[in-house]
Chains A and B, each alone.
Chain A
């Protein structure tokens, strides 16, 4: 078999100095070229972002103001936190459709327990814990009972939504300010740092850093990409598939629960149907960011940029006075178009798949 067309990896993950030491100067130069290929993928997305920003700014000068951009990042932070968890799930070769429902039940569980006299910290732990628990159940059904995760989490989505309506008696909750711990509760999602930076952005940065480290810098992330890239080979290599997927679903559940609680704090109330609309932006961000639905491929930076692009569109379209329904149509088209364009440009460039490591 011929060696085939030059399709060298984006080996960009190797720090340049290590690469140079290992491979000599010429190969290191080659690695830099390869890193360029990876950046070209993202640079397409970034170019689209810049272009969109120019257009929006030209039409409405308020768009490119500090206040608007800070607000934009704040509004994307919670669904992006969920998207980071989902990125891990996708890299492992699975899907989690239940994150929106988890978001809702976490806030509701926390709020109800707290309002019925449970100490604040315990209630908070219970809210996060239920997210982890849902993740563990998803993982158990997927890996032990062997129901495909699409079906497991689709069922879980409906099940969890039903439970949320049951426990809340389909009423919204509104914690009164005299409850013990209300100050902390308000601060969780509502605090503002100097320069009017909302705390949600700090949460976003923290979760991004943690997940990026786990995915790109640890043995866990390395093996996760292997498991998602070829499950059969992972079995042959005796990798701990079940344990890793348990972790991944638990992390995704925890991310969704955290996001739910942060938004609950920011808004000051939560409804039983909260999170029902999150499935689209979460998946769109992850997919636009370059993760593969068939597993083994996905980056935190990609997801972050994908999420930013989506929020940018919604924000800009709102400023232009485009109605909510038209926005839905537009965002749907852009999502499909972005992935199609990515496919087209990468295939055209001779790069048919990106390589981890």
Chain B
């Protein structure tokens, strides 16, 4: 039976030690999970296994034989957090790219590709260019490519971070089926404890570049994992997940009012929403439900019509002044050519970072950037550091920080903690709650029930373009309760009422 052994692997970048002697064993026939806080070295490990990096020390053995760099490039299939595909090609063409020699003619899909496409329910979009497809299709295409390759080692790096529940169940169905083949090793790197517990036989917790613990059998529970993940973190930085109820009185002022709000291409219809100071409303929905488009349309990035009042006003200036939107994808929210300080202050203008005549005040910009770095607990050496050198979690904090820097009354945020470790999640939830407590409102789109449980006061479910009645998160006793309630709401007949 195939086995993979990782022995004392080390890797450092400058002064940062990403891996400090990692030991790990994986066997065919099982699904090995890898969990760990951000910056623990998971991504580095994935890159090393994929042959994108060479370790400084240590060895990797496959069936007891050194697994060389060239071997790894050929026989490791990595399904990435962010798909690395060709947006200008169709889904099918993306699958055909690496197939090898088919002669000089343009390759065509054969039975095997068609079979994988249908297994992943991709037939409908098979001939559409990837750029016109949703993120889910990108992920599934990436997975299809890995399935088609006869690889020995399948590594799923946050494969379902952008997938809604039913789609990720489908995906994990495929992963479990892969386990049945005795020559394949399957590893899942994820932040989602529920899935790790549910689908993995063993879960290794990576902490500070080492394997901190391995949980299996009865010890493998969400609580157990959560406890292992926060080992070594200073107390006070992790706020325990509690539902809702920020301390502020709910004000009378209406910060956001939507009435008859309808997407131009009918992604959602007749949405009614009312948000007051202190409100945190989460909207849940699967990909394609229209929830994402709803948030984008409120920010003016998707075409929609109806009534949209921000702080009682309907004009574009009011939206600019009072509303800040944070996209789900950090690549669309940050400026890669800017430093951290410049990113944090990019939405500001006169008088915050410029004089009345438009002269840029760099000292103020840096002072402000530094202050925001402290407020949002962004861990970096200096405000002048390029934003691209930060870890994903810290980048997300920069995105949230830059949105709140202009002191809006309403923050509209998609997937506030996508691809972010537990400690950072708690910090971001804390920031959003604090923001609401100060007399503002938050509208968040979430795909995970625990996030709704941690963040929300009230939740509404978007299904097929209709928004459900609000549900008080506090009335659910546990995440499981909430999940059950939300599942019921998804099936319920759509009704429109102000939230």
Give A contacts to B, CB under 8 Å: 1-9, 11, 13-15, 18-19, 21-23, 27, 30-31, 34, 217-223, 225-226, 228-230, 232-239, 296-297, 353-357
Query: For B392, what are the chain A residues with a Cβ–Cβ distance below 8 Å?
Result: 1
- Chain A residue with Cβ nearest B349: A219
Contact A14 B384 (CB under 8 A): yes
CA–CA, A234 to B14, complex, Å? 32
B101: Cβ under 8 A from any A Cβ:
no
With A22-B363, A219-B350, A357-B365 in contact, is A5–B14 under 8 Å at CB? Answer: yes
B332: Cβ under 8 A from any A Cβ:
yes
Cβ 8 A contact of B359, one of A2, A219, A236: A219
B39: Cβ under 8 A from any A Cβ:
yes
- Chain A residue with Cβ nearest B370: A22
CA–CA, A112 to B300, complex, Å? 48
Contact B13 A230 (CB under 8 A): no
With A1-B392, A226-B346, A236-B299 in contact, is A31–B384 under 8 Å at CB? Answer: yes
Query: For A18, what are the chain B residues with a Cβ–Cβ distance below 8 Å?
Result: 362-363, 366
- Chain A residue with Cβ nearest B19: A2
CA–CA, A1 to B353, complex, Å? 31
- Chain A residue with Cβ nearest B381: A8
Q: Mark B134-172, 1 if CB is under 8 A from A, else 0.
A: 000000000000000000000000000000000000000
Contact B342 A357 (CB under 8 A): yes
Instruction: List residues 300-358 of chain B with CB under 8 A from any CB of chain A.
Output: 300-301, 319-320, 325-327, 331-339, 341-342, 346-347, 349-350, 353-354, 358
Contact A357 B39 (CB under 8 A): no
Cβ 8 A contact of B384, one of A1, A9, A230, A235: A9
CA–CA, A195 to B389, complex, Å? 51
- Chain A residue with Cβ nearest B367: A22
Minimum CB–CB distance from A298 to chain B (whole Å) comes to: 10
CA–CA, A266 to B388, complex, Å? 49
- Chain B residue with Cβ nearest A2: B18
Minimum CB–CB distance from A98 to chain B (whole Å) comes to: 26
Q: Mark B9-52, 1 if CB is under 8 A from A, else 0.
A: 00001111010000000000000000000110111100000000
Give B contacts to A, CB under 8 Å: 13-16, 18, 38-39, 41-44, 299-301, 319-320, 325-327, 331-339, 341-342, 346-347, 349-350, 353-354, 358-360, 362-363, 365-367, 370, 381-386, 388-392, 402
Minimum CB–CB distance from B249 to chain A (whole Å) comes to: 30
Provide a sorted-by-A list of 9 A–B residue pairs whose CB atoms are within 8 angstroms. A1-B38, A2-B39, A2-B43, A5-B14, A23-B366, A223-B346, A226-B338, A355-B384, A356-B339
With A2-B16, A4-B13, A4-B16 in contact, is A237–B360 under 8 Å at CB? Answer: no
CA–CA, A233 to B399, complex, Å? 10
Minimum CB–CB distance from B14 to chain A (whole Å) comes to: 4
Query: For A13, what are the chain B residues with a Cβ–Cβ distance below 8 Å?
Result: 362
Minimum CB–CB distance from A102 to chain B (whole Å) comes to: 26
CA–CA, A356 to B338, complex, Å? 5
CA–CA, A34 to B383, complex, Å? 13
CA–CA, A1 to B41, complex, Å? 6
CA–CA, A3 to B392, complex, Å? 9
CA–CA, A235 to B402, complex, Å? 14
Cβ 8 A contact of A19, one of B39, B366, B388, B402: B366
- Chain A residue with Cβ nearest B402: A237
With A1-B43, A219-B360, A233-B332 in contact, is A296–B384 under 8 Å at CB? Answer: no
Contact A233 B335 (CB under 8 A): yes
- Chain A residue with Cβ nearest B382: A27
Contact A3 B337 (CB under 8 A): no
Starting from the known contacts A1-B392, A2-B391, A3-B389, 12 additional A-B residue pairs (CB-CB under 8 Å) come to A6-B389, A22-B367, A23-B370, A27-B381, A218-B360, A219-B354, A219-B359, A222-B346, A230-B334, A233-B346, A236-B325, A238-B320
Query: For B41, what are the chain A residues with a Cβ–Cβ distance below 8 Å?
Result: 2
Query: For B389, what are the chain A residues with a Cβ–Cβ distance below 8 Å?
Result: 3-4, 6-8
CA–CA, A238 to B13, complex, Å? 36
Query: For A229, what are the chain B residues with a Cβ–Cβ distance below 8 Å?
Result: 335-338
Contact B335 A230 (CB under 8 A): yes
Query: For B347, what are the chain A residues with a Cβ–Cβ distance below 8 Å?
Result: 237-239
Contact A236 B366 (CB under 8 A): no
Cβ 8 A contact of A218, one of B42, B346, B354: B354
Minimum CB–CB distance from A8 to chain B (whole Å) comes to: 5
Query: For A3, what are the chain B residues with a Cβ–Cβ distance below 8 Å?
Result: 13, 16, 39, 389-391
- Chain A residue with Cβ nearest B357: A218
Query: For B13, what are the chain A residues with a Cβ–Cβ distance below 8 Å?
Result: 2-6
Query: For B39, what are the chain A residues with a Cβ–Cβ distance below 8 Å?
Result: 1-3
Cβ 8 A contact of B301, one of A15, A23, A34, A236: A236
Query: For B350, what are the chain A residues with a Cβ–Cβ distance below 8 Å?
Result: 219
Contact B382 A30 (CB under 8 A): yes
Minimum CB–CB distance from B209 to chain A (whole Å) comes to: 9
Contact B366 A22 (CB under 8 A): yes
CA–CA, A83 to B169, complex, Å? 56
Query: For B319, what are the chain A residues with a Cβ–Cβ distance below 8 Å?
Result: 238
Query: For B301, what are the chain A residues with a Cβ–Cβ distance below 8 Å?
Result: 235-236
- Chain B residue with Cβ nearest A294: B337
Query: For A355, what are the chain B residues with a Cβ–Cβ distance below 8 Å?
Result: 337-339, 384, 386
- Chain B residue with Cβ nearest A220: B358
Contact A218 B382 (CB under 8 A): no
CA–CA, A26 to B415, complex, Å? 38
